Structure 1
Amino acid sequence: MKKIVFICMISAALFACKSASSTTASNEATQLSTKLDRPTQVALKGNWILTNVSYPGSDYIKVNSFDLADSKCFIGSTWNFISNNNKGSMTLNAPNCTAFTSPIVWSINDQGLFVLKIVDPGVKSKNVKSGYLLKVAGLTDNSFQLIDNINVGGQTKDVTYQFQRAN
């Protein structure tokens, strides 16, 4: 019986692991502080490479990051953050994954939340109504993490995206 319950839990996790932050971003946007953390935004200015994605159970569970692709496809992706206008871009270019490039709109509020909006082609950034909320952690001159939350079998788990500054 335990084996059946375990298999059911793993099956549910494989099909139900999606970022919880997208609903958070759209539903709580009106409750978020509109004050920005300018010093942290300026610290992120420039080009970055996403070097690792980690989360509990990563050998067994697939995570669809930002409703775009498997989290493993984000490893090696390049990100550009422009701090004076809160725009930028992201490019996924991992082998065996579909290539993807998109403009982004981002900010960091005074609560330490990274607000990310992915802008679809032909859409003005001001018309993008949904996005993602992530926590900023471990910020140094050359690295930082963005931490997302996913729901795995009714439990919230952290997905950590590790960034290194590009040369």
Structure 2
Amino acid sequence: MRKIILICIIAVTVFACKSASTATTSNGAEPLSTKLDKSTQVAIKGNWVLTNVSYPGSEYIKVNSFDLADSKCFIGSTWNFISNNNKGSMALASSSCTAFSSPIVWSINNQGMLVLKILDAGIKAKKVRDGYLLKVGGVTENSFQLIDNINVGGQVKDVTYQFQRAN
């Protein structure tokens, strides 16, 4: 009887543990690691202002960032990243654009990619299937960049979001 109980406990422990090695991407690309880059997460915790959005051809091409608004509407937006629970918020406040605010869930994997979900009110992150992968770059005490890839005429271009620490 003790052996059966011991085997059951071991089986439950083994099968209940979630693998933290890899997850596949939705586009069939190489698997992404689900291990987190805790040091970078801690480095960007706090309040930030998105100060600039740049990409080749920005004078001719409009980019709809995060499926929410024109990329220029994000200039001046405020972002809060909480590293101990991977939650936060973002708010658009440009006077020439529609105001928007939302809670977010985020993490940075050990490949330097920020995994971001923008949540609707009352919806839990596990119910949100769509999200964004952005490369994290240029992390300093007072600034960092998020870099997204867009397809323009069959060519991949980088959209760079520049953040500065809020006072």
- Number of aligned positions between the proteins: 144
**SS of corresponding position for 1:41:** helix
**Partner of 2:124 in structure 1?**
124
Q: CA deviation at 1:151?
A: 0.5
**Structure 1 position 92 matched with structure 2 position 103:** no
TM-score (norm 1): 0.83
**Partner of 1:155 in structure 2?**
155
Using CA pairs under 8 Å that are at least 6 residues apart, name the structure with larger relative contact order, 1 or 2: 1
Deviations 1:40-76 (A, max 9, x none): 0000110000000000000000000000000000000
**Partner of 1:55 in structure 2?**
55
Query: In the aligned structure 1, how far is the partner of 2:164 from the partner of 2:25?
Result: 25
Percent identical across equivalent pairs?
Answer: 80
Q: CA deviation at 1:31?
A: 2.5
Q: 1:27 to 1:75 in 2, by over 3 A?
A: same
**Partner of 1:3 in structure 2?**
none
1:1-167 pair list within 5 angstroms: 26-27=26-27, 31-167=31-167
Please list every run of 5 or more consecutive structure 1 residues that lacks an aligned counterpart in the other structure: 1-23
Deviations 1:118-140 (A, max 9, x none): 00122111211110000001000
Q: CA deviation at 1:97?
A: 0.2
**SS of corresponding position for 1:79:** strand
Alpha carbons 2:80, 2:88 under 8 Å: kept: yes
Aligned Cα root-mean-square deviation (Å): 1.7
Query: In the aligned structure 1, how far is the partner of 2:103 from the partner of 2:114?
Result: 16
Alpha carbons 2:25, 2:31 under 8 Å: kept: no
Q: CA deviation at 1:25?
A: 5.9
Q: 1:45 to 1:29 in 2, by over 3 A?
A: farther
For 1:129, the aligned partner's letter is R
The structure that is helix-richer by fraction is: 1
Q: 1:25 to 1:151 in 2, by over 3 A?
A: same
Query: In the aligned structure 2, how far is the partner of 1:104 from the partner of 1:136?
Result: 17
Query: In the aligned structure 1, how far is the partner of 2:153 from the partner of 2:95?
Result: 30
**Partner of 1:5 in structure 2?**
none
Which 4+ runs in 1 deviate beyond 3 A? 24-30
Q: 1:147 to 1:59 in 2, by over 3 A?
A: same
